[in-house]
Chain A
Amino acid sequence: MTTLLQSAPLFYALVGALLVAIAFTAFAAHTHVLRRLLAFNVMGTGSFLILVGLAQHTRGPDPVPQALVLTGIVVAVASTALALVVFRRWYEATGHVVLPEDERA
């Protein structure tokens, strides 16, 4: 276990891995679309932590993964906002908060 905690960036990467796993569990368990969207966002944040943490473990601050993550955050914000618009529109139209495929299960 001590080999896993050699540096702060590696610790961030591991926390990111844990976040991804926890969020994936929530994403698979919940059927409510908003809870799924939240879980998906946490999963994205976890992957950002892995991306930046792993890259900076051996060689220190690296602007390339940081820039990639910044771009990723913008895309995540845009897709989250779009998902919210779609969900609200769908709720407005049908009154449901769960997708039909999940209701059948």
Chain B
Amino acid sequence: MTGAPRDTTYVAISRGRLAVSLVLGAGLAAALVFAIRGRSVPAIDLAMQVDDALDSSGVSHEITAVLLNFRSYDTLLEIAVLLAAAIVALALRAPVAETTPSAATTHDVAKAIDTPVLASLVRALHPMLLLLAGYLLWAGSSKPGGAFQAGAVIAALGVIRRVSGVAPGADALSRWQRSTLLAGFTVFLVLGAGMLLLDRPLLAWPVDLSGVLILAIEAVLTVSIAVSLIGLFASAPSEQTSTRPSGTPRP
């Protein structure tokens, strides 16, 4: 960080603001507890409906069945949100010209890669995390697991590679990575819309193909989710690249 050192971790709260917040918070707590007390039992038993339809979903785990079959539009929109967030984050990256040459290379932490312990640890983590991600992806159809969990593990590997300096030029996604960002949403949407050609509703998988389709979509989603999360992590400006004028006055 450049400029005069000043405390940016805490901003004092005025007493009036705190009092109003406490009153509003207490009111919200009372309203929520009142609402929970006065709840009504829903007329439709969704859990039973899922149970009845599980055999036609292509997977044997209820949550995966809901996520990728019964309510797959939720998951389609979820990956769209992730894609939008990643695109906005990449668009907000500081222009390369703005950063100084030394700061533009990579995070400062990268210098730590000289340590043999860190280097071998990162190397050893690669197969373990990839195996774990593959297992989670496969497990999703019958037990807890799935595309997001697997994608999060791969993203963790990407973050480790970046902070340890293994991934060179870590401040941006490569062209290849940027195209995989789009893959999850595109494959999902094309397959879902393809159902219309088979005279089926949007995203309504045929019973005999649903298992294969769900696994294929989850595999592509895993890659896209991982790259989106890595992109979001990588596009946050690091403190070294700070270009703000030093000693900005504080009001």
Q: Mark B45-74, 1 if CB is under 8 A from A, else 0.
A: 111101000000000001101110011001
Contact across chains for A32 and B82 when beta carbons are under 8 A apart:
no
In the complex where A59-B45, A71-B67 touch, is A78 in contact with B82 (Cβ < 8 A)? yes
Interfacial chain B residues near A10, Cβ < 8 Å? 36
Q: Does B138 contact A (CB under 8 A)?
A: no
Whether B25 lies near A28 (C-beta < 8 A) is: yes
**Contact indicator B41/A85 (Cβ below 8 Å):** no
| B13/A30 in contact, CB under 8 A | yes
Chain A residue numbers with a CB within 8 Å of B18 are: 29
Q: How many residues of chain B are within 8 Å of chain A by beta carbon?
A: 63
A31 x B244 contact (CB < 8 A): no
Interchain nearest-CB distance for A27 vs B (Å): 8
B120-128, B199-207, B232-240 - interface stretch: B232-240
Is the CB of A37 closer than 8 A to any CB of chain B?
A: no
- CB within 8 Å of A: which B57-107 residues: 62-63, 65-67, 70-71, 74-75, 78, 81-82, 85-86, 88-89, 92, 94
Tell me whether A78 and B47 are in contact in the complex, defined as CB-CB below 8 angstroms, given that A66-B63, A92-B243 are known contacts.
no
A103 near B: Cβ within 8 Å? yes
Contact B237 A54 (CB under 8 A): no
| A89→B95 CA distance, assembly (Å) | 11
B244:A95 contact, CB within 8 angstroms: yes
Q: Known interface pairs A29-B18, A59-B45, A84-B236. Does A92 touch B94 (Cβ–Cβ under 8 Å)? A: yes
Bound Cα distance A25, B237 (Å): 30
Evaluate contact between A67 and B67: CB separation under 8 angstroms.
yes
Evaluate contact between B85 and A89: CB separation under 8 angstroms. Answer: no
A74 to B147 CA separation, bound complex (whole angstroms): 11
Chain B residues within an 8 Å CB radius of A24: 24-25, 28
- Pair count A-B, CB < 8 A: 160
Residue of A nearest to B152 (CB): A77
Q: Which of A31, A79, A86 contacts B11 (CB under 8 A)?
A: A31
Cα of A98 to Cα of B85 in the assembled complex, Å? 22
Known A-B contacts A84-B236, A92-B242; A20 and B39 likewise in contact (beta carbons under 8 Å): no
Which residues, 56 to 70 on A, are CB-close (under 8 Å) to B? 58-68, 70
Which residue of B is nearest A18, CB measured?
B29
Known: A59-B45, A67-B67. A31 touches B237 (CB 8 A): no
Which residues, 1 to 32 on A, are CB-close (under 8 Å) to B? 3-4, 10, 13-14, 17-18, 20-22, 24-26, 28-32
Say whether A85 contacts B235, CB under 8 Å: yes
For this complex, 11 residue pairs linking A to B, each with C-beta atoms less than 8 Å apart, are A4-B36, A24-B25, A28-B20, A28-B21, A30-B11, A31-B13, A58-B41, A67-B63, A74-B225, A78-B232, A95-B244
Q: Which 5 A-B residue pairs are closest in the complex by CB-CB distance?
A: A25-B25, A21-B29, A95-B248, A63-B62, A17-B32
User: Apart from A3-B37, A13-B36, A92-B243, what are 15 other A-B pairs with CB-CB below 8 Å?
Assistant: A4-B36, A20-B32, A31-B17, A50-B32, A55-B42, A58-B41, A62-B46, A68-B74, A70-B63, A81-B229, A81-B232, A82-B88, A93-B244, A95-B244, A103-B251
